[in-house]
């Protein structure tokens, strides 16, 4: 895989750290756009049925893509070994630099970049 492709995948994975927030924001955005309110202030009862809310969410392509991305990364994490999971967490959740990751896991620069490439190639294969 070319370096350009690896960088693009790395940028894509950097969105993972905020995926839950982005999903929640999109759900709220859809609810306000479609006039859906969760709770009335007087009775604390649902104004709209859960089926209507879920239906609106299921029809939204953006929300489906966000969920698909989260699911794909979840599958990736299941396939990674312990060290690869640690690298993933340090890089794409905690935003460590590759230099800091190298020091944290006690390996050479070349070794950490090989491990990066394996993770990114596995992610790319799951996307297709």
Task: Report the number of distinct structural domains present in the chain.
Answer: 1
pLDDT tens for residues 91-125?
Answer: 999 999 999 999 999 999 999 999 999 999 999 99
> What is the structure's pLDDT at 55?
76
pLDDT tens for residues 39-98?
Answer: 545 555 555 556 677 777 888 999 999 999 999 999 999 999 999 999 999 999 999 999
Domain of residue 30, CATH code: 1.20.140
Instruction: Please give the residue range of the domain that contains residue 21.
Output: 3-127
> What is the structure's pLDDT at 20?
96
> What is the structure's pLDDT at 108?
96
Q: What is the 3-state secondary structure (H, E, C) of the chain?
A: CCHHHHHHHHHHHHHHHHHHHHHHHHHHHHHHHCCCCCECCCCCCECCCHHHHHHHHHHCHHHHHHHHHHHHHHHHHHHCCHHHHHHHHHHHHCCCCHHHHHHHHCCCHHHHHHHHHHHHHHHHHHHC
């Amino acid at each position: 895989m070319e370096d350009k492709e690896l960088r693009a995948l790395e940028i894509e994975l950097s969105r993972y750290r905020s995926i839950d927030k982005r999903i929640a924001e999109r759900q709220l955005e859809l609810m306000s756009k479609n006039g859906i309110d969760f709770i009335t202030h007087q009775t604390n009862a649902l104004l709209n049925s859960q089926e209507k809310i879920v239906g609106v969410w299921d029809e939204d392509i953006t929300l489906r893509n966000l969920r698909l991305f989260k699911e794909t990364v979840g599958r990736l994490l299941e396939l990674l070994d312990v060290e690869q999971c640690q690298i993933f967490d340090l890089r794409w959740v905690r935003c460590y630099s590759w230099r800091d990751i190298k020091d944290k896991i006690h390996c050479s620069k070349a070794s950490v970049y090989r491990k990066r490439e394996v993770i990114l190639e596995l992610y790319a294969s799951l996307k297709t």
